[in-house]
């Protein structure tokens, strides 16, 4: 890899923002999300995924494993949409693969030495990694992207959502 090439790192957050009802309702605007919910409905016995996306009480009735699986499915759908842009990531990092934040931070300390690093989150939104990258490692804002805000067909509604829930991305 030459010094002029950009290293693209895909970072899957822990998906915590999916717990937010407003975020889940907004995700239903994305065709890949709707397709994913239809295709995976049979995995969720006694629960309609569309209702769980639209109703906080129904979402809260999902057990831990169902919520985790739903988050993974939603993030995979967002990643599939991003992948269709034709950009191949150089590295994929998943928050769930790290026991604690210090291990993840250590990985990004090493990556931050790359001049042309670009981090794209599949969240939606960012988690505590954003503040760490911006404040501790002084990674520039122009190198950090949320997948939804980077997508020209989705960013029109994402700005308002970020303002509503005060995301930092």
pTM of the model: 0.87
pLDDT on residue 114? 87
pLDDT on residue 11? 96
* C-beta atoms surrounding 91 within 10 Å: 13
Tokens 């030459």 locate to 2
Alpha-carbon distance of 109 to 103, in angstroms, equals 10
pLDDT on residue 167? 47
Dihedral over Cα of 122, 125, 129, 134: its sign = positive
Q: Report the side by side order of strands in the sheet with 91-94.
A: 91-94, 7-12, 117-122, 144-146
pLDDT on residue 162? 67
pLDDT on residue 163? 66
111 close to 9: Cβ distance less than 8 angstroms: yes
CA 5 to chain centre: 24
pLDDT on residue 4? 57
Helix (H, G, I), strand (E, B) or coil at 33: helix
Over the chain (169 residues), what is each successive 10-residue block's mean pLDDT?
A: 73 93 92 97 94 97 96 97 91 95 94 89 88 83 80 75 58
Question: Can you count the helices (H) and strands (E) in the chain?
Answer: 9, 4
pLDDT on residue 100? 93
Q: How many CA atoms lie within 13 A of 74 on its CB side?
A: 29
pLDDT on residue 28? 95
Alpha-carbon distance of 110 to 127, in angstroms, equals 19
Alpha-carbon distance of 122 to 150, in angstroms, equals 11
* C-beta atoms surrounding 154 within 10 Å: 19
């Amino acid at each position: 890899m030459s010094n002029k090439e950009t290293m693209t790192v895909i970072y899957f957050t822990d998906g915590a923002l999916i717990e937010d009802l407003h975020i889940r309702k907004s995700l239903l605007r994305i065709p890949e999300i709707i397709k994913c919910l239809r295709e995976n409905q049979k995995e969720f016995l006694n629960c309609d995924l569309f209702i769980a996306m639209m109703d906080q009480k129904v979402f809260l009735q999902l057990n831990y494993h169902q919520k985790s699986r739903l988050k993974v499915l939603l993030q995979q759908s967002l990643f599939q949409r991003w992948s269709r842009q034709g950009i191949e990531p150089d590295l994929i990092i998943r928050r769930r693969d790290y026991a604690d934040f210090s291990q993840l931070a250590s990985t990004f300390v090493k990556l931050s030495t790359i001049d042309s690093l670009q981090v794209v989150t599949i969240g939606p939104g960012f988690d505590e990694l954003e503040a760490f990258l911006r404040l501790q490692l002084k990674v520039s804002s122009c190198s950090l992207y949320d997948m939804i805000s980077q997508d020209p067909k989705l960013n029109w509604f994402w700005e308002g959502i970020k303002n509503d829930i005060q995301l930092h991305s």
